[in-house]
Amino acid sequence: MSILRAALVATALPLMATSALAATCGNTGSGFDAWKAAFATEARKAGVKKAGLQALASASYASKTIAADRNQKSFKYSLDKFMKVRGADTIVAQGRKRKARNAGFFASLEKQYGVPAGVILAIHGMETGFGGFMGDSAVVSAITTLTYDCRRSDFFKPHAIGALKLVDQGAITASTKGAKHGELGHTQFLPGNALKYGVDANGDGRVDFYNQTDALASTANFLRQKGWKRAKAIKRVKPTLP
């Protein structure tokens, strides 16, 4: 029996070690620091480097993010009310002016990605009022808090890893501001999507979601990669008289 007992203990030890290292979620801020220490091990294994790990270590529990996550009023609105609250008429009017002022840029995006200007402008206008307000919450703190929170840990985990890798790349810092749920830039990319679909459209050697050119090109690329189909030209047939 002693041999069997020893074998069982030997089998259990790796599982115990894994359990001890696993990041455990929580619903208050009391366990956040312990979670960060455990999550750092997962992040390191996922390829996060020194700068990203330092950003994780300095992250703070974002209580305002949790409050916002528990109270998303827009989900309760009808479509008409939502459009009025977000100022849809103003967005349409401003979008038309923006398209006219920068027609060549939007034409180039449609040529490359197949996404019309109206779609990109609608997203830009709805998400941040065309860059007027891109958020006041620290992206890394917000996204790691949501990953720690038990409500949707699995959904936010790849975005937390993405945020830390963006820090490694110099695309953001530990103090970069975004929306309450960690969305960043002109069109409010979640960090994992920013990492995957970001485009250096202005050719300066870095993807900057707070630069309008990069952000809008990245948005078009995201839509294209997610299955957006280029509109086919409609063949116009000249009517013939009977």
Say which residues have a Cβ less than 8 Å from residue 75's Cβ, sequence separation at least 6: none
Return the pLDDT at 231: 73
Long-range contacts of 156-160 (CB under 8 A, 24+ apart): 156/182, 158/192, 159/190, 159/191, 159/192, 159/193, 160/39, 160/43, 160/191
The helices-and-strands tally (H runs, E runs) of the chain is 12, 2
d(CA 187, CA 216): 7
Buried b / exposed e over 94-129, threshold 16 CB at 10 Å, is bbeebbeebeebbeebbeebebbbeebbebbbbbbe
What DSSP element (H or E) covers 178? Answer: strand 177-178
d(CA 123, CA 187): 6
For residues 195 and 166, the answer to whether their CB atoms sit within 8 Å is yes
CA distances from 68 to 21, 50, 129, 133, 137 (A): 30, 31, 20, 17, 11
What DSSP element (H or E) covers 220? Answer: helix 212-225
From first to last of its 242 residues, the chain has per-residue pLDDT tens of 444 344 434 444 444 444 445 678 999 999 999 999 999 999 999 999 999 999 999 999 999 999 999 886 665 667 667 666 666 788 999 999 999 999 999 999 999 999 999 999 999 999 999 999 999 999 999 999 999 999 999 999 999 999 999 999 999 999 999 999 999 999 999 999 999 999 999 999 999 999 999 999 999 999 999 999 887 654 554 545 44
For residues 166 and 181, the answer to whether their CB atoms sit within 8 Å is no
Return the pLDDT at 79: 63
Task: For the beta carbon of residue 139, count every other beta carbon within 10 angstroms.
Answer: 32
Return the pLDDT at 87: 67
For residues 24 and 39, the answer to whether their CB atoms sit within 8 Å is no
